[in-house]
Chain A
């Protein structure tokens, strides 16, 4: 920023693609710190609900108690409630016991194999005491059932058997009580709502058309093929090199190296636009992808508020430093 210019800006978000568990959007007119803060918060600080305490009554399966508890913890639960829920560590209702309705959800599981066939104990066997908090795959099956078709068919369909917890053989039994609590990804990855949260700088590609024209069709094709991803192509009509998908470019500089090797340095110039980012967010299902973004912004704002309203903090210097524009 020249001349101590303003840090104040109004980022713009344009959503490109949105599904329950997938979101692709552009973030423009801001810088890497903002984009990264958003990414980090989505990964580590958007709260979700996950199983945190397991009391095992009977376990005669092949997996030991800790093993099962660990597996249970990693099952994503629908966490739309998570933002309103309390952290059990600062829940007044239960004195930090973490077992009250405000800060926890109770699950029960009881499975016993009576047949000669191996019984798969899955997330569908987890019985919740809160209909809003379910394993995500179960919730999806219920939604599918509500939309049409029966519940049982959706649960039993081969591609949606739920997340396997353990397999039981004849006579083995598993019986347990599990408490799910609110938490954040910083404490344990099981509370992270994001499977993938990543962004890239939008590339800015300039082809030197004049120089490009000096290439033969064969050379053009060679040059295009040098890129591991399909960024360029040849227009079948004009036989000109066109940019098909600039975002496919992975900043590998292969095309630039190729151009140099062909003796045509400066054939193409590629820069990263420093103020626009393309985000890809995939959710575990615990929080819908767009909700994750909204929650992340919320959390980020709360964090900033916490800084802003801290009484003894001296913001005067900071204000000065930032040209008096911020805050």
Chain B
């Protein structure tokens, strides 16, 4: 279990090295096995983690929580999550228009070596290429010619001979002809001129070489060039051009950048592999350099051996640092990202789980655009429609839905081979004319044009059949795009996909006996997948599917059936009962609030050493559950309590969402929580090898009696406070002493050479805190570190924040005795009272149904369900059924009760809607926030009161408040606030020169330094800040003079 320190959860990387020694003539091959090259941080619960595959008992033995989701790293004693990064897909043609309205086609090529961006755009009806390595735009026809397409006819044929296409392309051809570029050589020379990289040279051959290199390695780098054959690149350009021209003719063909199918999610594996690749190459370079250096100094007795130049630190440190800081800086891939990793928030179980599903956005959050923030239809089932933060990150930061799977890279070679065997005609064998022949579709694999196929439907069905039978990876997707006349195959990583039930002509492949086997535990999800009953579809392939929500709704044409509709929500939104009855933003608010709810964090929560830990004393499992709750284990690690809520007004202390609480409920433990805070003390070591020491508490003599300083009462004989002691503010918890002299030579230190530097507790006054645990450990610099976990049990008080699961937060407005609380004739007395004004504007019908369902649940003894959209499938109870249960148990169908006032004993005028609702206690508590001061510390510089609660600061009377007082004419109050109570100062002012003097204590008179005398000095009061301003102005050669008048 992590707890700040040098600890990193990592595994060694061993490699087998093979190298040859000696000159060309007598070479000998040497082998060395298991050479350590570094340590790789291991993701918890991953395949390499020791916890992988362990059952509950084994995990318990290791002190780990079985409900912990894993997925994070432990680096330098902190739990770090590498967030999922959202990105535009690589190696794909994206047709878009830029800010000037120009149509452009861009490809971000990413290969093992480099990352480049190719942009082709249309300007004034002519088409150009733009690259970062080019000085300026280059006509695209020049590029085509440079790649060997000298014939204009062929170019036009490739784009399409249809006059609509060719006419749009003619201006570009003309331009090229005007430039007098007709041959490949001419084109290359022109291009070489434009290349900005490398040295400029007038030599034509150098230019040609540069141009060739550009075309080879930068321009569309993802398209491979085999043996100098540029034809695939030409065809790629032609396809790009054709799609651009399509876009000119028909605006529908633009690509949507916000479409989820055009996005890739980068997971921690990909990010770390990038990092590792970079570091490994660096390490190899370092070895080479070091070896070269030592090779010159070799001798017979000291033969060169490069193994000893392998320093594992390069990789170990290089992997640790980015994960712990979150800064991914890779020059090779032009990657400079900050905040990639974050500390895992362990405020609640849900917060930790929510972190794992968080997708951080590709854009910076400050952009004021609405497009990327809007809910995209293609997010259905992949990204949660509810779970997004409010404010700047709204709609940009997303969360995965419950069943989303993010693909990893699959091997391309066999798939390409498979495509050819399935009848894809190779491009090499096709003429330019045939490229867009009407009876065939292009086959594009991972953004690469493989060739064309005459029967796309047959081809795609064949690939799907192979996938369902498990012959190829389950995450390979095939998608026939009728509009673009293309078949897209994808096996690359980062696509989001989700499982669906396969249906044949509208009949589900999953039969009742399958489900029975699943319930009996004979069959698992993976069996369903393997047997072709389920399959994963990515966002693109979903476009070829007709998905029915329920089996009953399927028609002949239906290809798939949804597994369960509630899985479109993520984990945080999954906690909400009946979310489909709520107003949408309420669910979003709850998603944010569920993360602040106190409860249990993990089974091992009491063994952890977190800086801050909020626990509920009696957490409960919600009476109204959802399927998601059961799936994620929230029913085992609850964060709230089932409170009996009466919806009525009471006492006036319930306005503005405040809630009235029952004192007896609080006495019995409702909302009681434990707050644990960590304090650590270091035993410092100094330059001169001296160090702090921790000594037993000293006795002192008071009135002839030997006694212990009361501040040190909680200390043990070792000078460290012992667990179980009650610790109060100003108590000393470590009796530390520091050497007086920390520099220069160190000699034997005597007791008198130490000065006390105790660790004093600064807790909240009036709070009874207890030392829960003490841990001694060594930290990163090998210093002794003593950690204290201080515990405080808090009962709810006025001002503590509570919330239901429907985004309805409120503070406790007042606490009322039970006998004053309303009661029913059955003796039911609510735990809290909520004002009915919370309902009309929020429209949280889900909360009302939760109350009904909870009431029915407690009366009949069965947990009721409220999964999203769960009514048709039986995962949510219907209101009618709930009402029937209520009536059966003698309640009104409406959930309302006849209630008596506890104060008068008279019946209330109205029936009261009363029943249990799951309430969360949120981490915001008044005791951490309340602050007031009458007098206190002042800032040294200005002598004004300090700012902020942590410094016991004053409450500022700001400019606007000042304006009010001026407008009101309360000048004396203003004077008192701004001067008397702030920074009054008695200044000596010279009446003659108007400058500030001072009081000379030797002469015992005021004195003016300007006039060099003591006459004409008078004394006045002004704010110290004002005096400071005068002096600062004087230092800038501005003379502020005060003109005094006598009165």
Contact = CB atoms under 8 A, between A and B. Distances in A.
Interface in B900-915: 900, 902-907, 911
Contacts of A174: none
Contacts of A44: 817-819
Contacts of B890: 228-229, 248, 250
Given A35-B905, A64-B772, A188 B667 contact: yes
Most buried by B among A39, A248, A252, A254: A252
A66 B672 CA distance: 11
B724 A43 contact: no
B349 interface: no
Interface stretch (A99-107, A122-130, A198-206): A198-206
Nearest to B726: A65
Interface in A51-100: 56, 59, 62, 64-67, 70, 74
A40 B606 CA distance: 41
B887 interface: yes
B825 A198 contact: yes
A186 B770 CA distance: 28
A224 to B, nearest CB: 13
Contacts of B921: none
Contact of B905 (A32, A185, A192): A32
Contact of A198 (B672, B824, B886): B824
A56 B724 contact: yes
B791 interface: yes
B391 interface: no
A251 interface: yes
Nearest to A70: B669
Contacts of B900: 198-200
A250 B825 contact: yes
B793 A189 contact: no
A36 interface: yes
A189 B898 contact: no
Contacts of B793: 64, 66-67, 70
B668 A64 contact: no
Contact of B818 (A33, A43, A59): A43
Contacts of B911: 252
A252 B896 CA distance: 9
Interface string A197-219: 11111000000000000000000
Contacts of B906: 32
B664 to A, nearest CB: 4
A293 to B, nearest CB: 15
A254 B770 contact: no
A280 interface: yes
A196 B827 contact: yes
A196 B668 CA distance: 15
A104 B902 CA distance: 32
A64 B824 CA distance: 36
A33 B827 contact: no
Interface string B668-681: 11001010000000
A250 B905 contact: no
Contacts of A197: 827
A221 to B, nearest CB: 15
A26 interface: no
A248 B905 CA distance: 19
Contact of B674 (A39, A64, A199): A64
A228 B887 contact: yes
B243 interface: no
B1011 to A, nearest CB: 70
A67 B892 contact: no
Nearest to B883: A228
A195 B887 CA distance: 25
B905 A36 contact: yes
B852 to A, nearest CB: 14
B770 A272 contact: no
B826 interface: yes
A321 to B, nearest CB: 19
A69 to B, nearest CB: 9
B254 interface: no
B798 interface: no
B892 A252 contact: yes
A137 interface: no
Nearest to A74: B668
Contacts of A251: 898, 907
Contacts of B824: 198
A184 to B, nearest CB: 11
A74 B793 CA distance: 17
B617 interface: yes
A65 B827 contact: no
Nearest to A229: B890
B490 to A, nearest CB: 51
B674 A198 contact: no
Interface of B: 606, 617, 663-665, 667-669, 672, 674, 724, 770, 772, 791, 793, 817-819, 823-827, 886-887, 890-893, 897-898, 900, 902-907, 911
| A-B complex: 10 closest residue pairs judged by Cβ atoms | A36-B905, A196-B827, A189-B667, A200-B825, A189-B664, A198-B827, A32-B905, A40-B819, A251-B898, A66-B793
Given A64-B772, A70-B793, A195-B827, 5 more contacts: A44-B817, A62-B606, A67-B674, A70-B617, A189-B665
8 contacts: A65-B770, A66-B674, A70-B672, A189-B818, A228-B887, A228-B890, A229-B890, A282-B827
